[in-house]
Amino acid sequence: MSTTLLRVALQKSGRLSEDSYQLFKECGIRFDYGTGKLKSVSSNFPAEFLFLRDDDIPGYVEDGVADLGIVGENVAVETGRQVQTVHKLGFSKCRLSIAIPRGEVYNGLSDLEGKNIATSYPRLLGDYLAGEGVKAHIHQISGSVEIAPSIGLAEAVCDIVSSGSTLLSNGLKEVETIFRSEAIMIAHTDLNADKQTLLNKLLFRIKSVQTAKFNKYIVLNAPNNALDKITALLPGMKSPTVMPLAIKGWSSVHSVLNENEFWENIEAIRAAGAEGILVIPIEKMIY
Ligand code: PRT
Ligand code: ZN
Protein backbone atom coordinates (compact mmCIF):
# COMPACT_ATOMS: atom_id res chain seq x y z
CA MET A 1 0.00 0.00 0.00
CA SER A 2 1.28 3.50 -0.86
CA THR A 3 2.43 5.64 2.06
CA THR A 4 2.22 8.90 0.11
CA LEU A 5 0.68 11.75 2.07
CA LEU A 6 -0.83 14.74 0.33
CA ARG A 7 0.43 17.86 2.13
CA VAL A 8 -2.22 20.53 2.33
CA ALA A 9 -1.51 24.09 3.49
CA LEU A 10 -4.43 25.87 5.14
CA GLN A 11 -4.71 29.31 6.74
CA LYS A 12 -4.04 28.90 10.44
CA SER A 13 -6.49 31.46 11.66
CA GLY A 14 -8.37 34.01 9.60
CA ARG A 15 -11.21 34.50 7.18
CA LEU A 16 -10.42 31.36 5.16
CA SER A 17 -9.86 28.97 8.05
CA GLU A 18 -13.35 27.94 9.17
CA ASP A 19 -14.66 27.34 5.65
CA SER A 20 -11.50 25.44 4.71
CA TYR A 21 -11.79 23.16 7.75
CA GLN A 22 -15.52 22.73 7.11
CA LEU A 23 -14.89 21.76 3.47
CA PHE A 24 -12.62 18.87 4.52
CA LYS A 25 -15.13 17.85 7.19
CA GLU A 26 -17.89 17.68 4.57
CA CYS A 27 -15.57 15.57 2.41
CA GLY A 28 -15.33 13.12 5.31
CA ILE A 29 -11.65 13.93 5.98
CA ARG A 30 -10.87 14.22 9.70
CA PHE A 31 -7.92 16.02 11.28
CA ASP A 32 -7.23 18.01 14.44
CA TYR A 33 -6.70 21.74 14.32
CA GLY A 34 -6.76 24.52 16.85
CA THR A 35 -4.63 26.60 19.15
CA GLY A 36 -0.94 26.22 18.69
CA LYS A 37 -1.12 23.36 16.20
CA LEU A 38 1.26 23.75 13.25
CA LYS A 39 0.48 20.47 11.50
CA SER A 40 -1.79 17.50 11.75
CA VAL A 41 -2.14 14.16 9.96
CA SER A 42 -5.64 13.05 8.96
CA SER A 43 -6.90 9.95 10.74
CA ASN A 44 -8.85 8.65 7.73
CA PHE A 45 -7.32 10.10 4.50
CA PRO A 46 -3.67 10.08 3.40
CA ALA A 47 -3.15 13.79 3.99
CA GLU A 48 -1.11 15.99 6.27
CA PHE A 49 -2.27 19.53 7.01
CA LEU A 50 0.03 22.51 7.61
CA PHE A 51 -1.39 25.61 9.31
CA LEU A 52 0.19 28.81 7.98
CA ARG A 53 -0.33 32.52 7.27
CA ASP A 54 -2.23 32.82 4.02
CA ASP A 55 0.47 34.98 2.37
CA ASP A 56 3.03 32.19 2.78
CA ILE A 57 0.88 29.45 1.24
CA PRO A 58 1.55 30.11 -2.49
CA GLY A 59 5.33 30.06 -1.84
CA TYR A 60 5.17 26.76 0.04
CA VAL A 61 3.10 25.25 -2.79
CA GLU A 62 5.44 26.60 -5.48
CA ASP A 63 8.46 25.10 -3.69
CA GLY A 64 6.69 21.77 -3.20
CA VAL A 65 6.87 21.94 0.62
CA ALA A 66 3.08 21.67 0.35
CA ASP A 67 1.31 19.92 -2.53
CA LEU A 68 -1.93 21.86 -2.16
CA GLY A 69 -3.16 25.00 -0.50
CA ILE A 70 -6.28 27.06 -0.02
CA VAL A 71 -5.91 30.83 -0.48
CA GLY A 72 -7.84 33.80 -1.80
CA GLU A 73 -7.29 34.36 -5.54
CA ASN A 74 -6.12 37.87 -4.59
CA VAL A 75 -3.23 36.41 -2.59
CA ALA A 76 -2.42 33.75 -5.20
CA VAL A 77 -2.11 36.37 -7.95
CA GLU A 78 -0.42 39.04 -5.82
CA THR A 79 2.40 36.74 -4.69
CA GLY A 80 3.14 35.91 -8.35
CA ARG A 81 4.14 32.35 -7.45
CA GLN A 82 4.06 29.58 -10.06
CA VAL A 83 1.20 27.36 -8.92
CA GLN A 84 -1.82 25.86 -10.66
CA THR A 85 -5.41 26.67 -9.71
CA VAL A 86 -7.16 23.31 -9.47
CA HIS A 87 -10.56 24.35 -8.17
CA LYS A 88 -12.63 27.37 -7.22
CA LEU A 89 -14.22 26.89 -3.81
CA GLY A 90 -16.96 29.52 -3.75
CA PHE A 91 -16.32 30.96 -0.26
CA SER A 92 -14.51 34.09 1.05
CA LYS A 93 -15.80 36.06 -1.90
CA CYS A 94 -14.59 39.65 -2.04
CA ARG A 95 -13.35 42.27 -4.46
CA LEU A 96 -10.29 44.48 -4.70
CA SER A 97 -11.41 48.05 -5.28
CA ILE A 98 -10.09 51.56 -5.57
CA ALA A 99 -11.75 54.02 -3.20
CA ILE A 100 -11.46 57.77 -2.67
CA PRO A 101 -12.78 60.19 -0.01
CA ARG A 102 -16.58 60.32 -0.18
CA GLY A 103 -16.78 64.07 -0.73
CA GLU A 104 -14.67 64.00 -3.88
CA VAL A 105 -16.04 64.02 -7.39
CA TYR A 106 -15.02 61.07 -9.57
CA ASN A 107 -15.34 61.19 -13.34
CA GLY A 108 -13.32 58.14 -14.25
CA LEU A 109 -9.91 56.51 -14.14
CA SER A 110 -8.13 59.56 -15.58
CA ASP A 111 -8.88 61.30 -12.24
CA LEU A 112 -6.33 58.94 -10.67
CA GLU A 113 -3.52 60.14 -12.97
CA GLY A 114 -0.54 61.28 -10.87
CA LYS A 115 -2.29 60.43 -7.57
CA ASN A 116 -0.88 58.41 -4.66
CA ILE A 117 -2.78 55.16 -4.10
CA ALA A 118 -2.11 53.20 -0.91
CA THR A 119 -2.46 49.42 -1.13
CA SER A 120 -1.21 46.04 0.04
CA TYR A 121 -1.69 44.77 -3.52
CA PRO A 122 0.97 46.59 -5.60
CA ARG A 123 1.15 43.89 -8.27
CA LEU A 124 -2.60 43.61 -8.91
CA LEU A 125 -3.02 47.39 -8.83
CA GLY A 126 0.08 48.02 -10.96
CA ASP A 127 -1.08 45.54 -13.61
CA TYR A 128 -4.54 47.06 -13.64
CA LEU A 129 -3.34 50.65 -13.97
CA ALA A 130 -0.84 49.66 -16.68
CA GLY A 131 -3.63 47.88 -18.58
CA GLU A 132 -5.80 51.00 -18.38
CA GLY A 133 -2.91 53.32 -19.30
CA VAL A 134 -3.10 55.28 -16.01
CA LYS A 135 0.08 56.53 -14.37
CA ALA A 136 -0.30 56.79 -10.59
CA HIS A 137 2.06 56.32 -7.64
CA ILE A 138 1.55 53.08 -5.78
CA HIS A 139 2.28 53.43 -2.08
CA GLN A 140 2.68 49.95 -0.62
CA ILE A 141 1.56 49.47 2.98
CA SER A 142 0.88 46.23 4.77
CA GLY A 143 -2.27 47.02 6.75
CA SER A 144 -4.87 49.61 7.79
CA VAL A 145 -4.93 50.84 4.20
CA GLU A 146 -8.26 52.57 4.63
CA ILE A 147 -6.88 55.26 6.95
CA ALA A 148 -4.25 56.41 4.41
CA PRO A 149 -6.30 59.33 2.96
CA SER A 150 -7.32 60.70 6.37
CA ILE A 151 -3.69 60.87 7.56
CA GLY A 152 -2.47 62.43 4.32
CA LEU A 153 -0.54 59.40 3.11
CA ALA A 154 -2.44 58.97 -0.15
CA GLU A 155 -5.36 60.42 -2.12
CA ALA A 156 -6.87 57.00 -2.82
CA VAL A 157 -6.70 53.41 -1.59
CA CYS A 158 -6.96 50.02 -3.23
CA ASP A 159 -8.16 47.40 -0.77
CA ILE A 160 -10.30 44.31 -0.29
CA VAL A 161 -14.00 45.06 0.04
CA SER A 162 -16.69 42.68 1.17
CA SER A 163 -19.75 44.41 2.68
CA GLY A 164 -18.32 47.91 2.08
CA SER A 165 -18.77 48.95 5.72
CA THR A 166 -15.03 49.50 6.36
CA LEU A 167 -14.86 51.98 3.47
CA LEU A 168 -18.02 53.67 4.68
CA SER A 169 -16.83 54.06 8.25
CA ASN A 170 -13.58 55.58 6.99
CA GLY A 171 -15.35 58.16 4.83
CA LEU A 172 -14.41 56.48 1.54
CA LYS A 173 -16.38 55.49 -1.54
CA GLU A 174 -15.65 52.66 -3.95
CA VAL A 175 -15.00 53.94 -7.48
CA GLU A 176 -13.43 51.03 -9.40
CA THR A 177 -13.46 47.26 -8.87
CA ILE A 178 -10.21 45.90 -10.23
CA PHE A 179 -10.36 42.21 -9.25
CA ARG A 180 -12.95 39.70 -8.00
CA SER A 181 -11.77 36.96 -5.69
CA GLU A 182 -12.89 33.81 -3.94
CA ALA A 183 -11.07 31.00 -2.16
CA ILE A 184 -9.27 28.66 -4.55
CA MET A 185 -7.38 25.42 -4.22
CA ILE A 186 -3.88 25.73 -5.64
CA ALA A 187 -1.46 22.89 -6.35
CA HIS A 188 2.23 22.38 -7.01
CA THR A 189 2.77 22.38 -10.79
CA ASP A 190 4.55 19.01 -10.87
CA LEU A 191 2.80 16.54 -8.57
CA ASN A 192 3.95 12.92 -8.83
CA ALA A 193 1.48 10.27 -9.98
CA ASP A 194 0.57 9.10 -6.44
CA LYS A 195 -0.15 12.64 -5.28
CA GLN A 196 -2.12 13.39 -8.43
CA THR A 197 -4.27 10.32 -7.71
CA LEU A 198 -4.93 11.57 -4.17
CA LEU A 199 -5.73 15.05 -5.49
CA ASN A 200 -8.22 13.55 -7.97
CA LYS A 201 -9.89 11.65 -5.10
CA LEU A 202 -10.11 14.83 -3.06
CA LEU A 203 -11.50 16.87 -5.99
CA PHE A 204 -14.13 14.20 -6.64
CA ARG A 205 -15.32 14.58 -3.04
CA ILE A 206 -15.23 18.38 -3.13
CA LYS A 207 -17.26 18.48 -6.35
CA SER A 208 -19.84 16.06 -4.90
CA VAL A 209 -20.23 18.29 -1.83
CA GLN A 210 -20.46 21.46 -3.93
CA THR A 211 -22.97 19.99 -6.39
CA ALA A 212 -25.14 18.88 -3.48
CA LYS A 213 -25.16 22.41 -2.09
CA PHE A 214 -26.53 23.77 -5.36
CA ASN A 215 -29.36 21.25 -5.52
CA LYS A 216 -32.41 20.34 -3.48
CA TYR A 217 -34.30 17.09 -3.21
CA ILE A 218 -37.97 17.69 -3.85
CA VAL A 219 -40.93 15.46 -2.99
CA LEU A 220 -44.52 16.35 -3.86
CA ASN A 221 -47.96 14.92 -4.43
CA ALA A 222 -49.68 15.44 -7.78
CA PRO A 223 -52.96 14.45 -9.39
CA ASN A 224 -52.22 11.92 -12.14
CA ASN A 225 -53.66 14.16 -14.84
CA ALA A 226 -50.98 16.80 -14.02
CA LEU A 227 -48.04 14.39 -14.01
CA ASP A 228 -46.82 15.13 -17.56
CA LYS A 229 -46.71 18.85 -16.90
CA ILE A 230 -45.04 18.48 -13.49
CA THR A 231 -42.42 15.91 -14.47
CA ALA A 232 -41.45 18.10 -17.44
CA LEU A 233 -40.59 20.83 -14.91
CA LEU A 234 -38.53 18.40 -12.80
CA PRO A 235 -36.04 16.63 -15.05
CA GLY A 236 -33.95 15.41 -12.07
CA MET A 237 -30.63 13.59 -12.45
CA LYS A 238 -31.98 11.16 -15.04
CA SER A 239 -35.74 11.46 -14.71
CA PRO A 240 -38.08 11.92 -11.74
CA THR A 241 -39.38 8.98 -9.71
CA VAL A 242 -43.17 8.65 -9.83
CA MET A 243 -44.94 6.37 -7.32
CA PRO A 244 -48.67 5.84 -6.77
CA LEU A 245 -50.18 7.18 -3.54
CA ALA A 246 -52.55 5.02 -1.52
CA ILE A 247 -55.34 7.38 -2.56
CA LYS A 248 -56.59 6.76 -6.11
CA GLY A 249 -55.70 9.23 -8.92
CA TRP A 250 -52.66 10.69 -7.10
CA SER A 251 -48.91 10.10 -7.26
CA SER A 252 -45.82 11.07 -5.35
CA VAL A 253 -43.05 12.65 -7.45
CA HIS A 254 -39.40 12.71 -6.27
CA SER A 255 -36.71 14.67 -8.04
CA VAL A 256 -33.71 17.00 -7.76
CA LEU A 257 -33.89 20.68 -8.57
CA ASN A 258 -31.09 23.16 -9.13
CA GLU A 259 -31.10 26.04 -6.66
CA ASN A 260 -30.99 28.64 -9.46
CA GLU A 261 -34.15 27.27 -11.05
CA PHE A 262 -35.84 26.59 -7.74
CA TRP A 263 -38.19 29.54 -7.16
CA GLU A 264 -39.24 29.89 -10.77
CA ASN A 265 -40.02 26.20 -11.16
CA ILE A 266 -41.68 25.79 -7.80
CA GLU A 267 -44.33 28.37 -8.74
CA ALA A 268 -45.04 26.62 -12.04
CA ILE A 269 -45.19 23.25 -10.26
CA ARG A 270 -47.76 24.54 -7.76
CA ALA A 271 -49.77 26.16 -10.53
CA ALA A 272 -49.85 22.78 -12.30
CA GLY A 273 -51.57 21.21 -9.26
CA ALA A 274 -48.79 19.90 -7.01
CA GLU A 275 -49.49 19.72 -3.27
CA GLY A 276 -47.58 18.88 -0.09
CA ILE A 277 -44.24 19.95 -1.55
CA LEU A 278 -41.20 19.03 0.59
CA VAL A 279 -37.78 20.50 -0.18
CA ILE A 280 -34.85 18.72 1.44
CA PRO A 281 -31.13 19.57 1.45
CA ILE A 282 -28.81 17.04 -0.15
CA GLU A 283 -25.60 16.07 1.64
CA LYS A 284 -23.58 14.57 -1.25
CA MET A 285 -24.40 14.23 -4.92
CA ILE A 286 -22.50 11.76 -7.07
CA TYR A 287 -22.99 11.73 -10.85
O1 PRT B 1 -3.03 36.14 9.32
P2 PRT B 1 -3.09 35.88 7.85
O3 PRT B 1 -2.00 36.57 7.08
O4 PRT B 1 -3.22 34.43 7.54
O5 PRT B 1 -4.50 36.51 7.37
P6 PRT B 1 -4.84 37.95 6.79
O7 PRT B 1 -5.19 38.83 7.92
O8 PRT B 1 -3.82 38.40 5.80
O9 PRT B 1 -6.11 37.60 5.89
P10 PRT B 1 -7.65 37.49 6.29
O11 PRT B 1 -7.88 36.30 7.16
O12 PRT B 1 -8.19 38.81 6.76
O13 PRT B 1 -8.28 37.25 4.83
C14 PRT B 1 -7.99 36.10 4.11
C15 PRT B 1 -8.66 36.21 2.73
O16 PRT B 1 -10.06 36.35 2.90
C17 PRT B 1 -8.27 37.42 1.91
O18 PRT B 1 -7.04 37.26 1.23
C19 PRT B 1 -9.44 37.51 0.93
O20 PRT B 1 -9.24 36.60 -0.13
C21 PRT B 1 -10.61 37.00 1.76
N22 PRT B 1 -11.53 38.07 2.24
C23 PRT B 1 -12.88 38.02 2.11
C24 PRT B 1 -11.22 39.20 2.89
C25 PRT B 1 -12.42 39.87 3.14
N26 PRT B 1 -13.44 39.11 2.66
C27 PRT B 1 -12.39 41.12 3.84
N28 PRT B 1 -13.46 41.72 4.05
N29 PRT B 1 -10.03 39.73 3.29
C30 PRT B 1 -10.02 40.89 3.96
N31 PRT B 1 -11.14 41.62 4.24
C32 PRT B 1 -10.91 42.88 5.00
C33 PRT B 1 -10.42 44.03 4.12
O34 PRT B 1 -9.00 44.03 4.06
C35 PRT B 1 -10.96 45.27 4.83
O36 PRT B 1 -10.12 45.64 5.91
O37 PRT B 1 -12.12 43.35 5.57
C38 PRT B 1 -12.25 44.76 5.40
C39 PRT B 1 -13.37 45.04 4.43
O40 PRT B 1 -14.52 44.35 4.76
P41 PRT B 1 -15.97 45.04 4.63
O42 PRT B 1 -16.94 43.92 4.86
O43 PRT B 1 -16.03 46.10 5.68
O44 PRT B 1 -16.07 45.58 3.22
ZN1 ZN C 1 -2.26 37.44 5.26
Q: Ligand 1 atom closest to Cα of 11?
A: 4
Check whether residue 20 and residue 62 sit in a common domain.
yes
CA 161 to ligand 1: nearest atom:
44
Pocket test for ligand 1, best of 18, 54, 70, 184 (most atoms within 8 A of CB): 54
Q: pLDDT for 195-235, tens place per residue?
A: 999 999 999 999 999 999 999 999 999 999 999 999 999 98
Residue that terminates a domain, selected from 136, 165, 180: 180
Query: What is the predicted pLDDT for the residue at 241?
Result: 96
Task: Verify that 51 and 11 share a domain, yes or no.
Answer: yes
CA of 17, nearest ligand number: 1
Residues 172, 101, single domain; the answer is yes
Range of the domain at 99: 94-180
Write the CB contacts of 59 (distance below 8 Å, at least 6 apart in sequence). 79, 81
**Side-chain half-sphere of 240: how many Cα atoms within 13 Å?**
24
- Quote the number of domains for the chain: 3
287 domain residue, yes or no: no
pLDDT in tens, 47-93: 999 999 999 999 999 999 999 999 999 999 999 999 999 999 999 99
* Cα 155 to ligand 1 centre (Å): 22
CATH code of residue 154: 3.40.190.10
Residue 19: Cβ-neighbour burial (10 angstroms; 0-12, 13-18, 19+)? middle
Q: Are 124 and 232 members of one domain?
A: no
Whether 232 is in a domain gets the answer yes
* Residue after which a domain boundary falls, among 158, 180, 202: 180
Question: What is the reported pLDDT for 2?
Answer: 58
Helices (H) and strands (E) in the chain, counts: 8, 15
| Residue 270 is assigned to a structural domain of this protein | yes
User: pTM of the full predicted structure?
Assistant: 0.92
Same domain, 65 and 198: yes
pLDDT of 3 reads 84
Whether 142 maps to a domain, the answer reads yes
